[in-house]
Structure 1
Amino acid sequence: MSRRVFLVLMPILLGIVLAGPAGAETPNEGSIRAARATPVGRTVLPNGLVVLVTENPAEDIVALELLIRVGLADEKGPIAGITNIVQRILRDRISKNDKGKDRLESIGSLMKVSAEPDYARISLQTTSACFPEVLGYVAAALSDRTINPEETAEIQKEMARDFKDSSPAFPQLYEIFRQSFYRYHPYRNSDRGSELAVERLDPKAIEDFFSRYYAPNRMVLSIAGRVDRTTVLERIRKEFGPLSPGDDQVVEVPWEPKATEKQVHLSANSSIAWLFVGFPAPSVNDADYAAMTLLHALLGEGLSSRLFIEIREKKGLAYELGALYPPLRGPSHMLTYIITKPYDAGKAKNTLFEQIERLKNERVPVQELEESRRKVVGNYLLERETNRGKAFSVALAETIGVGYEYDLNFLQEIERVTPAEVQSVARRYLDNYTLVVARPGGRLYLDL
């Protein structure tokens, strides 16, 4: 029995969502062998900091990725959004000099920070000549364990403005989808946190959180580019070695029960309809992850996917469509989304479910599976073509608990997946969907 929930969301902005990448160029065996042979050195400092170094002398760009094992499971109620505050404080500490001027821009360096469901990320790119200087900025930002009121006040004002700004439709609906899909798991919570909680957080609470979770034994520091591994490790030991380890206890995540069918219907100020249909999916450390990755690519990734061909090309029922499958440490989801005309939503949904049933009832032809396999492998190689991609991919694998070797060997896992395994995964996971529909209000719809 499905649960139908009718809500009003006013207004939903019409952000453009592009379809997934078109089928990637077929990678050659040399590219695949080169990816597997990428040398990564792993070192653990006495304080628990994991350091990954990938030497790539061909490019004079050095990427630094610092991932911290802190996520939505560590933010509860009154402190929802606290990781975002800490991330922005570190952003300002790293990028600004004593006079508040941007010191990274002047040396041609770039930085991004984010708070993800399973980790916090600090991403920097610079030249090999400026890398030691940038590394020092990061270490200094982490070494100062005090949080002063001036820092927090500015960040809280910045986040208050962000909460008031209308976000595009996709992130709004994705947040609603997660809140409906997950019953107890922290993944149901907003990545941004709560506006009220952010407003009420005081410097002492932020400082306590920073001291507890931003400890070296909860961090992975990954470097890729024109560096000498021995020299880099010596500098990292000098800069980061004095950091004191903290409590590395993993937060116990509430058990997530088996999914049940749910429907959420929204009325929106728009002239188009959005459909989000999501299914349970294995975590990144599950044995089914590789098979589900191929299923996701085959079903909804790019212009050669079944959904694009059947819904858009053959029937003209979508302006845009696609799918996403986030690599999560805990229970994940495979989400398909369609932007269509309001009265075509039912037809689009029916066509989508026809393709779901097809995956369950029919084995994927070998040739079609090979095409999807090439797409996955090609995208994998493209994502790791840059030093930033190299540094981040191994850091992510290490942070979420599967080890950096998993990322390097992932192509082998993809190559081993068979049509029977794809069908088995479809039967096991593509059930008990969560549906979110947003379309213009004030009209009568009888198609869903």
Structure 2
Amino acid sequence: MMRTRVCLNPSRWGLLAVLRLLALGLVLTGSPAWAQVPEEPRLALPGSSPVSISSIPAPPVTRLVLPNGLVLLVQESPFEDIVAVELLVRAGVQQEGSNLTGLTSLIQDLLSDRITKDTTGQDIVEITGSLVTTQAEPDYARISLLTTPEYLEFMIGRLGQALRQRASTTSEVDQARSLALQALQGNQGAFSALYEVFLDTFYRYHPYKRTTSGVEGSVRKFDPQAVDAYFQRYYVPNRMVLSVAGKVDGTALAELVRREFASLEPVRETSVNIQWEPKASEKEVFLAAGSRLAWVFLGYPAPSLTSRDYAAMRVIHCLLGEGISSRLWIELREKRGLAYELGSIYPDLEGPSHILAYIITRPNSVGESRRRILGEVDRLKKERISQSELEDTQRKLIGNYLLERETNQGKAFHRGLAEILGLGYESDMYYLRHLQETTPQDVQRVARLYLDSATLVVARPGGRFYLDF
């Protein structure tokens, strides 16, 4: 669940420059000194000569660890007036357990109010033009701040003050709980509801089967005692990464962070026992839909963000269902007119992930849509993709990578994410290297290894009373 407070209209951050480079077939990005090797991998794209991924040096990143364990990452960009601050906390569905599902999301909403409002409930951030966003993900909690150098100290101070308040009040918990219940009781939408059904079916024991927003029954039970126990156990400095990018002075920022966060006390790390997830088996769920449309979700196991197979599966995801040039779009929509909407999902997860192809179609086209999707999956396993198709897909993925990290917020977030997951912030750059090293053989091997034992969720009028399977 994401919550955003106060709008900001930053200037365009050079996206057109990157797009022009991509249009010319150039793959240009930075590589700090620690990532350089004697012979760097190069990718020959159609109509271009091989280009090194470190053609443009990136500004160095400073990593500082406070005595209490908090990790600070800083990239100084003196010519950019927007400063991005990303605080990531190792707290998610694995820490919540089945009885506290949704608690991280509630605490994120509570922290958003602490940062943006004073004791009377008045918004004191709006005048600064800053943006505050909170989000709960399966593996981590995220607090994002976008501000200007003029108000950076103020915003860091608000963040530090919110975290130093280790006990919650009844009123703020009641308000956060009320917001959470309103969101749960609202119109969730068919897609989100079916995705939750898919997750609950796909994962047998793993906490990923639970949603970050929780369920109404558990959220109603949250009180200050439950909030404080969870907050004091997991929202601690040795489970935090603070990543900053923009027009800052690294030395002054480090002193500011020490002043605001040094008093937070670390907690001894305890292991979380994650239920063993057995090898996937074929599962089918048929639901009756209260509309004239039909939904087909077809998913498979996929490697985690930390796996060496991750880059190859990214290629498969892009090739299969990402955008109007994907195989599913061309085969199912353009050639056969089966889809009102289609695509694929491959979430970045620390643990076992999944790749999901979905289509919204006519009720009497479900059987054919399912067969066509399975046919494209089998094609990936039986036929190696051509070198030209691989290079086109790599170029698209590299372009997406560059665009996601063009802004200071993108840079700060992705480095912080790699750090909080234990990979080290520099591993975010290694993804490009792994992507460029991916071969057609790698794609076929990963497809054969993971794309087996599908989980199917179908929703259409009448449920299962069709004879097209």
Mark yes or no: TM-score above 0.5: yes
Residue 302 in 1 paired to residue 302 in 2? no
What residue number does 1:352 align with? 373
Q: Corresponding residue for 2:391?
A: 370
Cα distance, 1:141 vs. partner? 0.3
Residue 13 of structure 1 corresponds to which residue in structure 2?
none
Tell me the amino acid that sits aligned with residue 98 of structure 1. Answer: T
Superposition pairs of residues 202-281 of structure 1, within 5 angstroms = 202-281=223-302
Unaligned runs of 5+ residues in structure 2 are 1-18, 30-52
Q: How many angstroms does 1:98 deviate by? A: 2.4
Q: Choose the corresponding residue for 1:29, options 27, 30, 33.
A: 27
**2:54 match: secondary structure:** helix
Q: 1:307 to 1:218 in 2, by over 3 A?
A: same
- The equivalent residue for 2:405 is 384
Query: How far is the alpha carbon of 1:250 from its aligned partner?
Result: 3.2
| Structure 2 contact 297–458 (Cα < 8 Å) conserved | yes
Equivalent AA in structure 1 for residue 201 of structure 2: S
Report how far residue 441 of structure 1 moved. 2.8
* Residue of structure 1 aligned with 2:354, choices 327, 333, 340: 333
User: Displacement of 1:243 after TM fit?
Assistant: 0.8
1:128 to 149, 152, 172: 149
Partners of 1:162 and 1:247 lie apart in 2 by: 34
Amino acid at match of 1:94: I
Alpha carbon RMSD of aligned pairs, Å? 1.4
Equivalent residue pairs, number = 425
Equivalent in 106, 110, 117 of residue 96 of structure 1: 117
Alignment of 1:107-126 (within 5 A): 107-126=128-147
2 CA distance for matches of 1:426 and 1:201? 43
Deviation at 1:58, TM superposition (A): 2.3
Deviations 1:314-355 (Å, cap 9, x if unpaired)? 111111111111111100001111111111111111111111
Equivalent residue runs for 1:305-324 within 5 Å: 305-324=326-345
Tell me how far apart the structure 1 counterparts of residues 152 and 190 of structure 2 sit (CA, whole Å): 38
CA distance in 1, matches of 2:111, 2:127: 19
Who is 2:175 aligned against? 154
Query: Who is 1:60 aligned against?
Result: 81
Residues 1:83 and 2:104 are matched in the alignment: yes
Q: Is the 8 A contact 1:35 1:408 kept in 2?
A: no
Give aligned-pair identity as a percent.
51
Task: Write out aligned runs for 1:163-182 (5 A).
Answer: 163-182=184-203
Tell me which amino acid in the other structure corresponds to 2:196: E
Are the equivalent residues in 2 in contact too, given 1:36–1:408 (CA < 8 A)? no
1:420 and 2:441 equivalent? yes
Q: Which has the higher contact order (CA 8 A, sep 6+)?
A: 1
| Compared CA separation, residues 173 and 91, structure 1 to 2 (3 A) | same
Runs of 4+ in structure 1 deviating by more than 3 angstroms, as ranges, are 24-27, 29-32
CA distance in structure 2 between the partners assigned to 1:36 and 1:372 by the alignment: 25
Aligned counterparts of 2:73 and 2:430: Cα–Cα separation in 1: 16
1:49 match: 70
* Rounded Cα–Cα distance in structure 2 between residues aligned with 1:35 and 1:206: 46
CA contact under 8 A between 1:70 and 1:118: conserved in structure 2?
yes
| Cα deviations by residue, 1:150-177 (Å, 9 ceiling, x for unpaired) | 1111111111211211211221111110
Asked if 1:400 corresponds to 2:421, the answer is yes
Return the letter of the residue paired with 2:316: L
Q: Which amino acid aligns with 1:117?
A: P
Which amino acid letter does the alignment assign opposite residue 28 of structure 1? L
3-state DSSP of counterpart to 1:153 = helix
Question: SS at the partner of 2:347?
Answer: coil
Deviation at 1:249, TM superposition (A): 2.1
Q: Which amino acid aligns with 1:351?
A: R
The Cα of 1:185 is off from its aligned counterpart by 0.1
Distance 1:443 1:295 in 2: 30
Deviation at residue 36 of structure 1 after TM alignment: 6.5
Give, in angstroms, the shift of residue 37 of structure 1.
2.7
Whether the 8 Å contact between 2:301 and 2:451 is mirrored in structure 1 is yes
Does the CA-based 8 Å contact 1:35-1:381 persist in structure 2? no
Residue matched to 2:14: none
> SS at 1:64's partner residue?
strand
Q: How far apart are the structure 2 equivalents of 1:357 and 1:154?
A: 50
Deviations 1:267-318 (A, max 9, x none): 1111111111110001111111111111111111111111111111111111
**Equivalent residue for 1:9?**
none
Q: CA deviation at 1:99?
A: 2.1
Secondary structure at the aligned position of 1:28 is classed as coil
SS of alignment partner, residue 285 of structure 1: coil
Q: Residues 36 and 420 (structure 1 numbering): CA distance in 2 closer, same or farther, change over 3 Å?
A: farther
Letter in 2 for 1:140: Q
Quote the Cα distance in structure 1 between the aligned partners of 2:127 and 2:237: 29
Q: Which amino acid aligns with 1:281?
A: A
Contact 1:264–1:436 under 8 Å retained in 2 = yes
AA aligned opposite 1:40: V
TM-score (norm 2): 0.88
Question: 1:330 and 1:215 mapped to 2: Cα distance?
Answer: 22
d(CA) in 2 for partners of 1:36 and 1:383?
18
How far does residue 184 in structure 1 lie from its aligned partner after superposition? 0.3
